[in-house]
Structure 1
């Protein structure tokens, strides 16, 4: 159970409260810089936990269960904090909500389909969605550390909307597959 990939996944879950504390409004640019570094480290561990599990043949049920949960906890916590500190504000909150609602919906759909023993592989478009999402949140965190470079924040907002658009497309694709299996059962 406590293989290196699972430890890396658990470390991401345990790092979320630290990330939230670093993004708390009383911090300054240095806290945002630390939050950005931690966010990047969490992203690296996300890559390596899966890579190591597959390379060493140590893919476990615990890892398969925890990895998407760790991802969603991190994404949700960062989005909530970025809205709280107003790095995401105004109508841009709509893009953040689209992402959050899709994550919840697809998680529920995957759970339902798992009971039917139907897997939903991640599409290439969904991988692009994740890339834009990670870039967006990272840029918005980094924007707090670099207020002298407003373009960093702008990159985050543009990437957030790109992620939201891809979220709608991939969410609809997943929902269609799910509905087809619901009708069949």
Structure 2
């Protein structure tokens, strides 16, 4: 593995994902929300930056291809759990979060099962948009902790619902593309 800037950014995002819940343990109230928002926005920005640098300066690597999606999913899922825990029960948030968690676990399991064949199933533009909408929705929901606005809460919940729909669509697309590798042919 080479320690390129994209790889360093992906590993940093993975570490930030692990540290994210500690923000709410160390601080409370406005400070926790401000720090969580800054960490999440910073980590989300590195997702775009590491990919851009890797492509622009030919710094792609197998390690980066492995750790980048793990870091993305870890950051989104951990932030999602923290946001839902902070906001409390909201049916739209709970359902959206459930769909997102299910899809990410399901697709990760599919990729693991497919092994080497999983590389043939490329990430689509819609899947990249899905991740972007998830990150924007979580950013808005984290900002709600600072502004305590019903409008911001509705916007964040709505964006997370849109992210959940995109998550379902991309999960179904991945499953359909994986189906030929999952079928068992009967011996004749």
Classify the secondary structure of the residue corresponding to 2:60: coil
Q: Partners of 2:88 and 2:139 in 1: how far apart?
A: 11
85-94 or 30-39: which moved more?
85-94
Q: Deviations over 1:124-174 (max 9, x none)?
A: 322332222111111111101111x22112111001111111111221111
* 1:1-185 correspondence runs (5 A): 1-24=2-25, 27-87=28-88, 89-116=90-117, 118-147=119-148, 149-183=149-183
Kindly tell me: are residues 51 and 87 of structure 1, through their superposed partners in 2, closer, same or farther at Cα, counting changes over 3 Å? farther
Unaligned runs of 5+ in 2: none
* Alpha-carbon distance between aligned partners in 1 of 2:146 and 2:56, rounded to the nearest angstrom: 36
> How far is the alpha carbon of 1:12 from its aligned partner?
0.7
Judged with a 3 Å threshold, the aligned counterparts in structure 2 of structure 1 residues 74 and 112 are, in CA distance, closer, same or farther, namely same
Summarize the Cα distance change of 1:18–1:88 in structure 2 as closer, same or farther, 3 Å threshold: farther
Deviations 1:66-115 (A, max 9, x none): 11111111111111111222356335311101001101111222233342
Distance in 2, Cα, partners of 1:38 & 1:117: 31
CA contact (8 A) 2:92 2:157 kept: no
Provide the alpha-carbon RMSD of the alignment: 2.0
**Distance in 2 of aligned mates of 1:125 and 1:167:** 9
- Size of the aligned set, in residue pairs, is 184
Q: TM-score, normalised by structure 2?
A: 0.88
Shift of 1:30: 2.5
